[in-house]
Structure formats: C-alpha cells, structure tokens
Structure 1
Amino acid sequence: MKAVVMAGGSGSRLRPLTIARPKALVPVVNKPVLAHILNLLKFHRITEVIITVYHLADQIQDYFGDGSELGMLIRYSFEESPLGTAGGVKQVQDLLDDTFLVISGDILTDVDLSALVQFHRSREALVTLTLKRVADPLDYGLVISNPDGRITQFTEKPGWGQVISDTVNAGIYVLEPEVLDRLRPHQSYDFSQDVLPSLLEEGAPLYGYIAEDSYWCDIGTVPAYMRAFSDVLEGRVRHIQLGQELGNGVWAEPGVEIAPDATIYGPVYLGQEVKVKGGATIYGPAMVRDFTIVDNRAQIERAAIWSHCYIGESAEVRGAIVCSQCNIRAKSIILEGAVIGDNTLVGRGTVIHPNVKIWPGKEIETGITVRNSIIWGSQGRRVLFGQYGVTGVVNVDLTPEFTAKLGTAFGSILPKGSLVTINRDPHRSPRMLKRALISGLPSAGINVWDLGTQPVPIARYYTCQSVAVAGIHVRLSPYDERMVDIRFFDHTGANLDETSKRRVEQSFFREDFRRVYLDEIGTIAYAPAVVETYLRSFLQSVNRDVIRHARFYIVVDYANSPVASVFPTILNEVGCNVVALNANIDESRLAIQPYEFQADLERLGIITGTLKARLGIRFDVSGERIFLVDDTGKLIPDSLAALAFADLVLRFHPGGTIAVPVKMPDEFELVAARYGGHVVRTRTDARALSNAACGNNIVMAAAGNGSFIFPAFQATSDGMMAAVRLLEYLALSDIPLSAIVADLPPSYTLHQAISCPWEAKGIVMRRISQHFRNEEIDNTDGIKIRFGKSDWVLLLSDPDYPLFQVYAQAPSQPLVSERMASFVNLVLEFQK
C-alpha cells in the first residue's frame, strides 16, 4: 500500500515557530513531527510514500531526501498554489493505482493503521475516515456515524449549537483510487469540505473508524504543541524511541554532559551533546534539544528548548518555548506560554511576561520587562467572539491597547481603502474603546465614518445603505456596567457570520496585521445625515395615515437611551399622544440590574393601566428590542408577544411566511395556519434569523426575546420599526392588543440552564443523540427531540458559558414539568 502525506501547511497559527520552517518540520522531542508520521507508516509496513509540499518545500525535501536512510521510497509533489487536501492528492493520481492511505504530516498520532486498513476492506468502503473523540470539538470537522461505522452526517468546524457528538475527523483516510476520478486537475478541493460531503449526498459507502485507544493530537497551536511533546515524554504515544534512558524518566542522546550537582526531574529529554551545568535544575515534562547549554543555576520547568540555544546563569524558563539558536542571558525570566523565535537574544535580567511572542531575529534590551509581543501582538484568549460580539471587563479584558489591535485585526480582513462605520452608546467606557478602535482601523488602510451615539438599528441601517463594507457598535453591557460588548456588522448591517468571525480571530491571534504605507492610512470623518437617512426611509415604509386616524394614546419607556432622541420624531409624524418615561439620556442608567429592569416593566404596566392607554412600550438601551404592556396594563411575555405579532402580521399578509428559532413553541404553526401562512425555523443566533428574514415571502422574523425583523425595511432587529408596525396593525384590525393575546392558542413551555464542563459537552450531546435515536430528532440548532404534537425537548450548548440551555414544550403544564425534570436528570447523568 502507498501513502500520501500532506505536508504543505504553513502553520500560521504556530507562528513564530513556523516563520523559518514548514509546520511539518517543527520538532516534537527528538524529531520533526513529519518524521514521527513516517516512522508510524514504516511500523505498519507502508514504505512507499508521496509527500505533497508547498510552503518552504525545499526544506522538507532536503531533510528527508529520497527516504533511503529511513528504508522508505519517498517522492514529492510540489504545488504551485495551494490545492487543498484533496486537490493535492489528485495531482499524484497517476501514482495511485490501488487502495491508498492519506495522512496529515502535521499531526502526532499512534493510530493503528493496519487495523484501519483492515476495517476499510471489511466494510467494502469507498472512503474510510479515522475518527477521534475529543473534549472540545469546535475547531474540527464533526462526523456522525451509525453503530456499524457508516457515516451519516458531517459538520465542518461547528458552533456549540451544532455539536451533537464528540467524534471528529482526524485527517487520516483510506481511499479507493476511483474517488479521484471525480476531481478536476489543478483545482483546489478539500476532503472534509468538498469531496466527502458530496460523496455522502450521493449515498457512497463512507465509513468512520473510531480510534478509541490511540493517541492523536493536531499540532496546530502553541498550547497543542506543548501538550504533544509532554504526552510523548509521559509515554502516551506508542512507537517513539527517545534515546538512552538514564533513569527516573530522563532520556539522553550521545554526548550529553550533566554536572554532578545538577538536578533533573523527569520526564525530560536531552538531545545530542546537551550540557547541563552545576546547580542547574530541569523539571519535566521538558525537552532540551541538540547542542544546547543550560548554564549554572539555570531553571527549566515544563518547557521546550530547541537546538543550539544558551540558557544563561540563573535564568528561568517556565512553561515556554525557546526556538533554535537563541541566547537567553543570565537572570532572565521567561514565563508561561511565551514563545521566543529563532535567533533571538534576550538581555540579562529581562522578564518576558506570559503569552508574549518574540518574532525571530530580535534583540531584547537588558533588564527590561516585556509585556507585549515584539513587532507582533498577542492575546491569551481562547476565542474572541461570544454571543454578543467581543465582550470583556473594561480596562481589564478590553483595554485601549487590546481594542486598537482588534480594530487593526478587523481592518486587515477588509479590502484596503474601504469604509467602516462605527457607533457607540453614550457611556464613557464605550467612548474610550471606540476611539481605540478608530485608531486601529486606519493603520490597516480602512476609512472610518463616525456615527456618534445612535440607536443600533440606525447604525445597522446606515451601514447597509451607505458604501460601507462593515460596521462596529460599542455598548455597555445591559446588566453589568463593568462589561462592554463590541459588535461587528457586515455590509448589510447584520452581525458577522461565523466565517468572518474566524477570519478576525485568525488575524488577531496570528498577529499578522496589514500595515499600510503612509499615503494609504485611512481617513476618519463624521458620517453625514445619519438620522435623516434613517427617518426618511422609515416614514416612507409605514402607513402613517392609518396610524394617525387611530389617534393612539400610548406610554413609552425610553430606558434613558439614545432612542429618546429619535423616536419622538417618528411618533409625532404618526400622530400619537405619548406619555414618555426615562426620556433623558443618562449614562448611569444604561446598565441596570435585572430586578431594576423588572421593576421598570411593572411600573410601565401600572402607568399604562391607570392612564387607560392603548399600549405600553419599553425599549432596550440599544433600540433593537421592545417589551410590551397591553391596554389593561398587563405585561406580555416575550414569546407570547412574538406570537401575537405573528397573528397580527399574517392577518394582513395572508399566505406569508414568518421565521422563528427552533426554541419557540409549536403554536406559531397553528397561528400561521389560520391565515394560510407558513413558518420557517432557524437557529437561535441573531445572524441566522437575519439570514432567514432575507428569504422569499418572509414578512416578519421574531427571536422571542423582544427582537423583531421586518425585512421590507431592513433584515435586522429594529425596535422602533417593530413598535410602529404594531401600531399600524392594531389600527388596521381595530382590535385591542389584550383581545389579540386572549385569542391565541395556549402553550406550556419551560426553560432551564444546566451546568456542564466544556470538556463534557460533546460527550453529553453524543449520548443524548444515542439515547433518543428512535425518536424524531431535529439538528437545526442543538438537539431537538420530538415526542409528539407540541411535545419536545431542545438541548442547546451555550456558546459563552459551561452551560446547556434546555427548552421544553408539552400539552400540559404538569407534563412539561415532568419532561424537563426527566431530561435535566439525564443530562446530569451523562456528564458523569
């Protein structure tokens, strides 16, 4: 059997380790990771290998040659441009005339390849994938298979809402040669994104071999690299020889010198001719590669020191990586997560703070403290984006320095010379961070239009209608004044999609920003006619005469937000008589506690009922959501308000379609049926609802949290438009809101949050899927198990916290309580 080893990756997430070498040549203890893969192939008697190369290809060819020193036959396939995992294999099709194996050259594994091939042949498969169970499947391709191994579903790099198992694609395949016949030469194809999903749709026999007892690690990030070499030293990876064991978990190559008073606590690997001087201490797991000197009283702890380095007297390296040919002078301290690039000199007494990255060839002055990366930035966060954008504590997580870099990262993924709008709420914290963002964007060649402090729907609308390619809004968190959310929009005004978020994160974490020349630096200006543009289109989109004729008397709570500077003009144009509450913009009231919010709603209800007003409306601070009180002063729950809105909208748009998330009750279908309408179910995130709102015949989308979209105006949430549409439909129907609500079908629902460690989420989702495999399951978002009409449970993984969100509906209140209790117990049991 022949094997194709994919070794074309540049390893951008591993920088600066991969600045001077391809990812496949990054050393893991005693050999490059690609050498470990070749040894594994040879162990399983696969000795004829084709290596596909692209980035720094000559280095790989120079290192391995024709393979004769390994007892193998190695050929190389050079890609002029990246062809993807499958496109690179297609290029060597003429060398593959029988069943062959494809394996990534930048993973560390001891998978039983012989058993994998035997499994493939026993199933008569067209393609067999190696699958591995992982605790955190977000960065991998998720694969679902049935008990005999036949694959039923792929999900490439899922969000937590899409995680329904913990088995991922390990990047090792056995294929029949005819798979390549369907690919066109010289085109880019990816196995996981293009070839395999296409084969699955055609019903081809695709199987997954779960490598239960095997080791597997994708060495794609610095933490993964640290984990990989530690696992080798701790004996978790089979078939790797580490030289001569000196005892107590210390392995040494020839020529090692250890002073009598040096102390080494295994597991530790010492490369060829390493010198450990008097009083030096090494705590494992640690690797010190060839020709390195560890001088007197130096300390190395859980660190990787590459070849030809000098660790000076009393220097300390803790949990860090020091690349080749570095000079770490006396009494320097390098702390957890730091990476020192090749050929770097760290001056005497210098302190390198955690997670700092030093690019190759730098000279760090004596006695300084380095808190930020040299030339390139760094941040220790796992991901940037959460449910509400980039969120953090002001001046702790979100500092001006961090935010300026974030602006540069965002600008770096946008076309040079393009325009971005930026908006904020009136608080001083968003003001500070907004200015930091503004400073970062022009450095990447982006022009900025400052919108000031507008309600978010205006910022979204203006972004969509202008020539801007994106927008940003900086707000104080509604319930915690210490927190700020930075929200990013695309050119339509909608939240960024997942692909764009990943691109921003990659730009940020790779620290590979675009720095433009002097005459390309972006401009900063105030945007023209922002409110006027919005109001003009808004008033043209509603039936002002109908609302004027109804002569509404309403109560509006502006929540001390910028909505108070815009919405009164709209209400005046439609002839409403208004009692305004909290109409002064007050930065001290922008973030309030939940109990204060509830008290404000209750006060709104009392005032509305006492004044016998037709309606009470409370805006959230952003202006995107509204909360309703009917003409009797009764607060309408958010999901019931959405159902009432659906009824009103479809009365005047019979046959129309509304979009709601999968967590909303089945009564939406009942209401739609009254008017010959339809319901589209979406994922629970705002972007998914915006995407659905752009579909054919969609007249409204509702999130069930006070957020409404009327796509005829804009495909994003707009509380002001929702409020005026409500007035319009109430005027047309001439029915009070209380009567609309009373005529709705009853629903019995519950919602509960359940704690679950991050590493257990995938396991729980898989076990839930298996437990209910005989029931009807909907994977639109999370796992929705349907037991009957208006009888279901939905399990959603919270994207920001170690929690599950559980929603349930049943035909009666006792039954929904029973369903919820039973399901919660099951989720807790599956965590054990």
Structure 2
Amino acid sequence: MKAVIMAGGFGTRLRPLTMNIPKPMVPIINIPIMHRIINLLKKYEITDIIALVYYYPDVIMNYFKDGKDFGVKISYVKAEADFGTAGSVRNAAEFIGDEEFVVISGDVLTDVDISKAIDYHFDKKSKATIVITRVKNPLQYGIVIVKDTGEISRFLEKPSWGEVFSDTINTGIYILNPFVLEFVPYKQEFDFSKNLFPILLEKKIPFYGFITENYWRDIGTLTDYLEAHLDCLSGAVSVEIKGEKIKTDKAVIYIGENSEVDGFEKFSGVVVIGDNTKIGKDVKIVNSVIGSNCEIGNECEIIDTVIWDRTKIKNYARLTLDVIGYDCVIGERVEINENVFISDHCIIGNEAKLMSNIKLWPWKVVEDGSVLSKSLVWEDKWLKELFTDSRVSGISNIEMTPEFGAKLGAAFGAFLGQGKTVLVSRDADNVSRMMNRALICGLISAGLDVDDLRIASIPMVRHELRSGRYAGGLHVRKSPVDKHQTDIIFFDSNGMDLPVSKAKSIERLFFGEDFPRVPYDKVGNINFPVRVTEGYVEKFLSSLNVDLIRKQNFKIVIDYSNGVAVSILPNILGQLGCKVVSLNAYLEPSKLTRDEIEFKKAIDELAQIVTSIRYDVGFMLNPGAERIWVIDENGRFISNDRLLSVVVKLFLEAYSENVKKIAVPITASYEVDLIAKEYGVEVLRTKNSHYGMMEIVLKNPDVKFVGGTKGGFIFPEFLFASDGMFAISKILELMSITGLKIGEIEKSLPKLILKKKTLSCPRDLKGKVMRLATLETEQYRRQLIDGVKIFMDDLTWVLILPDRQKSEIHIFAESDQEGKVEELIEIFSEKIENWMKS
C-alpha cells in the first residue's frame, strides 16, 4: 500500500518558528514532524510514499531526498498552486495507481495504529475511511458523527459551538479507494472536508469512521507545539527519542553522540540533549529538549523549554516555557519569561529581560540590558481564538487597545488584499472612536482605502455594503451587555456577518503576525462618503406603504436608548405622519449599555408613559438600532418570544396570500407554527444566530419574513438583516393594513409554556456532552440545525444548545403543560450532569 503525505503546510499560526522552514520540518524532540510520520508508516510496512509539497519544497526534498536513507521510497509532487487537500491528492493520481492508499498529514504528532485502520477499511468494504478521535475542544476541526455500524452519518467542517454535535473529529488520516478521486476536479481547489466528503454522503458511497484511542495532536499553534513536547517527555505519546538513556534519582536523560555534560545533579524530569552539545557546570534543566551543536553556559536554568540546533546560551541565563529557534545567541544573565517564541538567528544581549508572550522574528537583536515587554493582557485570552462568530470583543482600553486595533486592522487588510476599499463605522463611544481609528491605521498600512461613515447604525452599514463598492466592512460599538467591553463586528462584501471560515483566516494572519506593509506611496486613503443617510432613507420609505400609514395618525412613544437611531428615525417617523413622544433621544456614550435593573426601569417608564397619555404603542430600540422591545396599548410589556408570535400573526394576516414560507430560529416557540398553519404557510428553522437568520434569506428567496427571539426582525424586501427602525415602521404598516392593535392580537394567540435553564459546563466537556446528547436521543424525532432538538410530541420539545462563548449549556423546553416543561428540564439537567461526569 502507498501513502500520500500532505506536506504543503505554511504553518502560519506557528510563526515566527516557520518563517524559514515549512511546518512539516518543525522538530519534535529534535526530529522533524514529517520524519516521525515516515517512521510511523514504515512501522506498518508502508514504504512507498508520495510527498505533496508546496511551501519551501526544497527544504523537505533536500532532507529526505529519495528516502533511501530512511528505509522508504519517496516521490515528490509539487503543486503550482494551492489546490486544496483533495485537489492536491488528485494532482498526484498518476503516482497513486489503482490500489487503496493512505493519506496522512505531515504535520501532526500521532502514534495511531494504521494497520488497524486499514484492516477496518477492508472489513467494512469501505471506499473511504476517516481515522477519527475525540478531543476536548472540537471547534478547530471537522466534526464527524458515526452510526453504531461505523458509517459516517454527518460531517461538519470547523463548526461553531451551536453546531457541535460530537467531540469526535477528523484527524486528517484517510484510507481511500482511488475510485473516490473521480469526484475531484483536476487542478482546481477542492477539499476533502468541504467538498469531497459531502459528495460521498450524498451519493451514499460506503464511507466509514475508524475511532482511534491512540494519541493524536494537530501542531496548529505555538501552544500546541510546546504541549506536544511535554506530552512526548511525559510518555503520553509513543515516540522514538534518540541518545543514550541515563537515569538519576530525579531525572531520565537522553544524551546524543559526542555531547558533554558537566554533571546531572540539577536535572529533573525528562531531559533530551542532541549530538555534539556542551552543557556547563551547575546547570538546572527540567523537562526540556536541547538540540544538536548547542552550548549551554554555567549555572543556567532551563525549564519546560525547547531549544533548536546550533543555539548558544551563555552563563546564568534563565528560560521558562519557551522555544528558541536555530542559530540563536542568548547572552549572560538573560531572563526569558513564559511563552516566548524566538525565531532563527536572533541575538539577545547580556542581562536583557524578555517578558511573557512575546514573539521574535528572524535576525532580531535585543540590546544589552534591554527590557522587551508589551502590555499583552489580551495575549492570554486570545492565544488560540479571536472571534466569536463575526465579532471580536474585549475589555475597553485594556484588551481593546490602539496597538491591538492596528494589528487586527492590518490582518483584515491582508485578508482582503491591497487596493480594495473597506467601509468602517462606529457608535458614539470614545473607545469606539479610538478603536475605529486604530483599525483604520492598520487597514491603510496594508494598502487598502477606507470609507469612514463615523457614527452610523449597523443596518445602515449593511445597506451601504450592498452597493458592491466594498470588499468588506466593520463596525465598532460599546458592548450592549457589558459596559466595560467593546465589540468589533466584521462584515463581508455583501453586508453579511463575516462567515466563520473567513474569520478563522483572519485569525491565522493575526496570530502569524505576518502582515504585508506596503511602500509609503501605496498607503491607502481615508474618505468620508456623502449622501449615505439619504440613500438609506429613500430605500427605507420606498419599501413601505407611506400613504396608508400616514392616514392612521399613529401616536407612539419611542425610547432611543441614547443610540444612533436618534439621528435618523425622527425624520422618517415625521414623513409617516406619526405623533411621537421621544425618550433618551440624544447621543450619550455613558448610557449605551444597560444592566438588568436599568433595562427594567426603562421598560417600566415606557409602559407608564404609554398608558398615561393613552398612545397606541411604545417601542424601545437597542443602541445599535437592530432590535426592538414593545409595550402594547394597555401598557403591557410583550416578551421577546411572545412578540415574535404577535409579529408573525400581523404579517400573515396582512400578506398570507403572497407568502409561502417564513423562518424563525431553532429556539423559537411552536406558537409560530400553530399560527402559520392557519394560513397554510411553511415555517423553516434557522440556527440560533443573526447570521443564521440572514443566511436563510439569501439562500431561499421564498422566505418573506424572518423573526428572531431577541427582538430582531428581517423583512427581505428592504434588507436581509434585522433593522429595528424598519421593524417599527413595518409593524405600524401591518397594524394599518389589518386594523389590529398589539394587545388585541396578543390576547387572541395560542399560548404555550417555554422555559430555559442554563448549566455550567467546562469548555473542554461541551463536545463530549453534545456527542452523548446526539447518541442517546437517536430514538426521537430530532432537528440538528443548532444544538440537539428533541420532539416528545406535537407540542412538546427540548433543545440542548451549547453557548457560543461561555462555558455553559442551555436547555430550552416547551409544552402546553407547565408540568411537562419542568419535568423535561429536570430530566435533561440530570442527564447533562451525568454526561459531564462519565
């Protein structure tokens, strides 16, 4: 059997360590990762190897040559472009032949028993078999769900938490029949996970998953790289360690040929020393790896650290939890704190101090006595993940700093490409203004032009992005839920929230810190567009029956929440003939975030005013003008779930003859379905996110309305996203058409009991809980759109949904009987607690 090694990885997230070498050549315990993969294949008598190379191919080819010195035969296939994983293998089809073959990544650390996976593949008569394993955090990988028979039933590439149905993930190790390559186009970008595997599922081609209990780790980040070494030293993974083995009371030492050590008294744990290395007197080394041809001076301290070949560390230096690249010089009495990653050919002067969480690019020099430090509070928090969906959030002026903003702007610019134009905006908060300007600096430094709307609503930004003039956009705001936080929201060229796949691409650029800085004469321009508000208002009013609304002479109370709508909506309501009492109708940054007590007080005040002056309805907008809350004509607050039912009733009463489908999130009450059934309208379900609501509008033109459970409503004839200002105006139009008031409708609707409970769940256990939830509810009718939704009967259901950001799992339950709801929540709370403990 032949093997194909995917050896084209850039190793972006491992930079600066991979600035001069491809990711497969990064050493693990002094041996390149790809060398270890070849040893693993050879162990199972797979010696005919095809290496697919792309980035720094000569480094790989010069090391392995034809493979003879390693006991294998290696053929190389160079790609002239990035054809994706499956496309790259298809490009090597002539070398593969007509027999089954193994595909394995050249940059993972594993001791998986490949022979067992191969036997499993043939026993099942499979055309494609994925080796899968279980991990604590599955977000970075492709999730695989298998039936009891081993057949793969579902595959999801790099999901959000709401899409996590299991903690079993794709390892990137496959046993394939060449037949499956017939579905892969030649010399086109095509991935196994995104493209080929969904085709196999759709065509019901035999497709199986082999679960391994062996060690597997993707060396995806610098933290992964360090932890992989500690796993090797602890024995968690079976790897070859070269050198003579010496045991002392406190240590196990592997020492290479021609190396000299002046005493092992201060060694502890497992220590690996390469060939031709000299270590001085009284050196303390704990759980560390020293490369070949290194020199370590007297009385140094090296703890949990990896040092590559040909590096010299002078007397009295102290290093803890660091990685030092090739050919570096670390001066006397240097102190290097935790999580410092130094690339090749760097020189650290005598008595210099490097603070935690620093990266040094190749050939950098730190002068004698210098203190190299950054205020990188955010580095710990954002060491692996930056985005939550399309949003980056952090503590204002601590995590959200100008330095961070400029770096993030440069990463976004590098992703979009030089010469493009980006639309930016913000709310009235001072930190938002600061971060907006920092992001602009990063963008123009990458050679992009910026159109700055300054203070604008999010719906207006989305509307302007639809013009087709922009490569993307972003909006900076004070967090609506935490007054100490700032949010940065990213949009694609169509005004949609940036998809997870693109967000992860920006993350890789951000963490890699490899941003192209354009020459001075290519730095981008900053422009301030005109007539944006006028264009928005024109489209807004053209999407309404203005004359009909004007005839009603509506009297309404609006709480603007001190947000951006105050600069736009009064003019619109005036043109709609409304008599308006306005509350909090001025921009005030300090009041953009309300806590629960402040929110309730504002709602009570709104309700009191509506009833005391006998107005038709009261509305409250959130500061970003995306969502609304409603007080009916009787002064009653309509909860978000109930408001959705009310607006659905209004919409279908007005337009049912022209509506075939509407959509609501997976968490929405079944009341919506009961109402829609009266009008013969189909209800589609979306993921529990604004992106999911927008996505269904763009994918399904028959959907004429999407209602959320948090006060957001989408009317596609105007905009594909929720706009609170338009929602208010549209509700007034629906009331005009039907002649109905909010309170009248609410009283007439069916009423079910919907409750929610939130359980604490460590992030590392969320995947496991969702896997067991999926497995143990197979006998029920279910929806796996977002979380696991289980139907008990026509009116009774329960939903298990992991939180996208927090270490929590939410349980939603609904029924026509309160006792059933309480019972379901209790039953599934107990199940989740047990799943976490199992």
In the superposition, the TM-score normalised over structure 2's length comes to 0.96
Report the CA distance between 1:385 and its aligned residue. Answer: 1.4
Question: For structure 1, which segment, 242-251 or 643-652, has the greater mean C-alpha deviation from structure 2 after superposition?
Answer: 242-251
Provide the C-alpha distance between the structure 1 equivalents of 2:381 and 2:773, rounded to a whole number of angstroms: 36
Mapped pair 1:536 → 2:547: no
Question: For structure 1, which segment, 576-585 or 338-347, has the greater mean C-alpha deviation from structure 2 after superposition?
Answer: 576-585
> What secondary structure, in the 3-state scheme, does the structure 2 residue paired with 1:348 have?
coil
Are the structure 2 counterparts of residues 103 and 471 from structure 1 closer, same or farther at C-alpha, using a change threshold of 3 Å?
A: closer
Letter in structure 2 aligned against 1:252 = I
Alignment of 1:219-368 (within 5 A): 219-247=219-247, 248-260=251-263, 263-284=266-287, 286-368=288-370
Provide the C-alpha distance between the structure 2 equivalents of 1:81 and 1:430, rounded to a whole number of angstroms: 40
CA contact 1:388–1:485 (8 Å) conserved in 2:
no
1:715 alignment counterpart? 720
2:506 alignment counterpart? 504
> What secondary structure, in the 3-state scheme, does the structure 1 residue paired with 2:656 have?
coil
Letter in structure 1 aligned against 2:680 = G
Are the structure 2 counterparts of residues 779 and 362 from structure 1 closer, same or farther at C-alpha, using a change threshold of 3 Å?
A: same
Provide the C-alpha distance between the structure 2 equivalents of 1:831 and 1:355, rounded to a whole number of angstroms: 32
Deviations 1:516-543 (A, max 9, x none): 2222211112221232222222222211
Are the structure 2 counterparts of residues 342 and 674 from structure 1 closer, same or farther at C-alpha, using a change threshold of 3 Å?
A: same
Letter in structure 2 aligned against 1:154 = F
Deviations 1:160-206 (A, max 9, x none): 11110111111111122323344344344322222222112111111
Deviations 1:557-586 (A, max 9, x none): 111222222211111111111121122322
1:106 alignment counterpart? 107
CA contact 1:450–1:527 (8 Å) conserved in 2:
yes
CA contact 1:625–1:708 (8 Å) conserved in 2:
yes
Alignment of 1:413-452 (within 5 A): 413-452=415-454
Percent identity of paired positions between Structure 1 and Structure 2: 36
Report the CA distance between 1:13 and its aligned residue. Answer: 1.7
Are the structure 2 counterparts of residues 821 and 384 from structure 1 closer, same or farther at C-alpha, using a change threshold of 3 Å?
A: same
Letter in structure 2 aligned against 1:429 = V
Mapped pair 1:555 → 2:551: no
2:94 alignment counterpart? 94
Mapped pair 1:682 → 2:719: no
Deviations 1:479-528 (A, max 9, x none): 32211111122233232121221222122111121322222211112221
Mapped pair 1:165 → 2:166: yes
Question: For structure 1, which segment, 84-93 or 34-43, has the greater mean C-alpha deviation from structure 2 after superposition?
Answer: 84-93
1:80 alignment counterpart? 80
> What secondary structure, in the 3-state scheme, does the structure 2 residue paired with 1:138 have?
helix
Report the CA distance between 1:76 and its aligned residue. Answer: 2.1
Provide the C-alpha distance between the structure 1 equivalents of 2:742 and 2:192, rounded to a whole number of angstroms: 54
Provide the C-alpha distance between the structure 2 equivalents of 1:160 and 1:222, rounded to a whole number of angstroms: 23
CA contact 2:3–2:102 (8 Å) conserved in 1:
yes
Question: For structure 1, which segment, 670-679 or 166-175, has the greater mean C-alpha deviation from structure 2 after superposition?
Answer: 670-679
1:648 alignment counterpart? 650
Report the CA distance between 1:792 and its aligned residue. Answer: 1.1
CA contact 1:665–1:790 (8 Å) conserved in 2:
no
Deviations 1:115-152 (A, max 9, x none): 11111121111121111111111111111111121111
Deviations 1:281-337 (A, max 9, x none): 1111x1001011111111111010011111111111111100111001112222222
Mapped pair 1:134 → 2:135: yes
1:617 alignment counterpart? 619
CA contact 2:390–2:491 (8 Å) conserved in 1:
no
Report the CA distance between 1:109 and its aligned residue. Answer: 0.9
Question: For structure 1, which segment, 506-515 or 93-102, has the greater mean C-alpha deviation from structure 2 after superposition?
Answer: 93-102
Report the CA distance between 1:350 and its aligned residue. Answer: 1.8
Provide the C-alpha distance between the structure 2 equivalents of 1:40 and 1:733, rounded to a whole number of angstroms: 72
Where structure 1 has 5 or more consecutive residues not aligned to the other structure, the ranges are none
1:193 alignment counterpart? 194
1:117 alignment counterpart? 118
Are the structure 2 counterparts of residues 558 and 188 from structure 1 closer, same or farther at C-alpha, using a change threshold of 3 Å?
A: closer
Letter in structure 1 aligned against 2:255 = A
Provide the C-alpha distance between the structure 2 equivalents of 1:640 and 1:603, rounded to a whole number of angstroms: 20
Give the CA RMSD over aligned residues. 1.9
Provide the C-alpha distance between the structure 2 equivalents of 1:343 and 1:381, rounded to a whole number of angstroms: 25
Mapped pair 1:796 → 2:801: yes
Are the structure 2 counterparts of residues 388 and 790 from structure 1 closer, same or farther at C-alpha, using a change threshold of 3 Å?
A: farther
CA contact 1:653–1:699 (8 Å) conserved in 2:
no
Would you say how many aligned residue pairs link Structure 1 and Structure 2? Answer: 828
Question: For structure 1, which segment, 524-533 or 716-725, has the greater mean C-alpha deviation from structure 2 after superposition?
Answer: 524-533
Report the CA distance between 1:261 and its aligned residue. Answer: 7.1
Deviations 1:695-753 (A, max 9, x none): 31322211111111111111111111100111111122112211111111111111121
CA contact 2:241–2:254 (8 Å) conserved in 1:
no
> What secondary structure, in the 3-state scheme, does the structure 2 residue paired with 1:385 have?
coil
2:674 alignment counterpart? 670
Letter in structure 2 aligned against 1:433 = M
Provide the C-alpha distance between the structure 1 equivalents of 2:749 and 2:601, rounded to a whole number of angstroms: 27
> What secondary structure, in the 3-state scheme, does the structure 2 residue paired with 1:644 have?
helix
Provide the C-alpha distance between the structure 1 equivalents of 2:443 and 2:319, rounded to a whole number of angstroms: 36
> What secondary structure, in the 3-state scheme, does the structure 1 residue paired with 2:466 have?
helix
Are the structure 2 counterparts of residues 192 and 491 from structure 1 closer, same or farther at C-alpha, using a change threshold of 3 Å?
A: closer
Letter in structure 2 aligned against 1:86 = A
Provide the C-alpha distance between the structure 1 equivalents of 2:759 and 2:392, rounded to a whole number of angstroms: 24
Are the structure 2 counterparts of residues 469 and 57 from structure 1 closer, same or farther at C-alpha, using a change threshold of 3 Å?
A: closer
Provide the C-alpha distance between the structure 1 equivalents of 2:608 and 2:798, rounded to a whole number of angstroms: 36
Provide the C-alpha distance between the structure 2 equivalents of 1:831 and 1:509, rounded to a whole number of angstroms: 32
CA contact 2:102–2:174 (8 Å) conserved in 1:
yes
Report the CA distance between 1:825 and its aligned residue. Answer: 1.3
Letter in structure 2 aligned against 1:743 = S
Alignment of 1:383-402 (within 5 A): 383-387=385-389, 389-402=391-404
CA contact 1:329–1:346 (8 Å) conserved in 2:
yes
Letter in structure 1 aligned against 2:164 = V
CA contact 1:446–1:522 (8 Å) conserved in 2:
yes
Provide the C-alpha distance between the structure 1 equivalents of 2:333 and 2:221, rounded to a whole number of angstroms: 29
Letter in structure 1 aligned against 2:689 = D
Are the structure 2 counterparts of residues 546 and 278 from structure 1 closer, same or farther at C-alpha, using a change threshold of 3 Å?
A: same
Report the CA distance between 1:373 and its aligned residue. Answer: 12
> What secondary structure, in the 3-state scheme, does the structure 2 residue paired with 1:413 have?
helix
Provide the C-alpha distance between the structure 2 equivalents of 1:701 and 1:475, rounded to a whole number of angstroms: 25
Are the structure 2 counterparts of residues 475 and 187 from structure 1 closer, same or farther at C-alpha, using a change threshold of 3 Å?
A: closer
> What secondary structure, in the 3-state scheme, does the structure 2 residue paired with 1:607 have?
helix
Report the CA distance between 1:789 and its aligned residue. Answer: 0.8
Provide the C-alpha distance between the structure 2 equivalents of 1:190 and 1:560, rounded to a whole number of angstroms: 48
Report the CA distance between 1:388 and its aligned residue. Answer: 6.9
2:764 alignment counterpart? 759
Provide the C-alpha distance between the structure 1 equivalents of 2:770 and 2:66, rounded to a whole number of angstroms: 46
> What secondary structure, in the 3-state scheme, does the structure 2 residue paired with 1:653 have?
helix
Provide the C-alpha distance between the structure 2 equivalents of 1:625 and 1:773, rounded to a whole number of angstroms: 37
Are the structure 2 counterparts of residues 584 and 327 from structure 1 closer, same or farther at C-alpha, using a change threshold of 3 Å?
A: same
Report the CA distance between 1:467 and its aligned residue. Answer: 2.0
Are the structure 2 counterparts of residues 305 and 470 from structure 1 closer, same or farther at C-alpha, using a change threshold of 3 Å?
A: same
CA contact 1:303–1:318 (8 Å) conserved in 2:
yes
Report the CA distance between 1:379 and its aligned residue. Answer: 8.6
1:592 alignment counterpart? 594
Provide the C-alpha distance between the structure 1 equivalents of 2:413 and 2:14, rounded to a whole number of angstroms: 22
In the superposition, the TM-score normalised over structure 1's length comes to 0.97
Mapped pair 1:705 → 2:710: yes
> What secondary structure, in the 3-state scheme, does the structure 2 residue paired with 1:108 have?
strand
Provide the C-alpha distance between the structure 1 equivalents of 2:18 and 2:676, rounded to a whole number of angstroms: 57
> What secondary structure, in the 3-state scheme, does the structure 1 residue paired with 2:643 have?
helix
Report the CA distance between 1:419 and its aligned residue. Answer: 2.1
CA contact 1:8–1:54 (8 Å) conserved in 2:
yes
Are the structure 2 counterparts of residues 373 and 510 from structure 1 closer, same or farther at C-alpha, using a change threshold of 3 Å?
A: farther
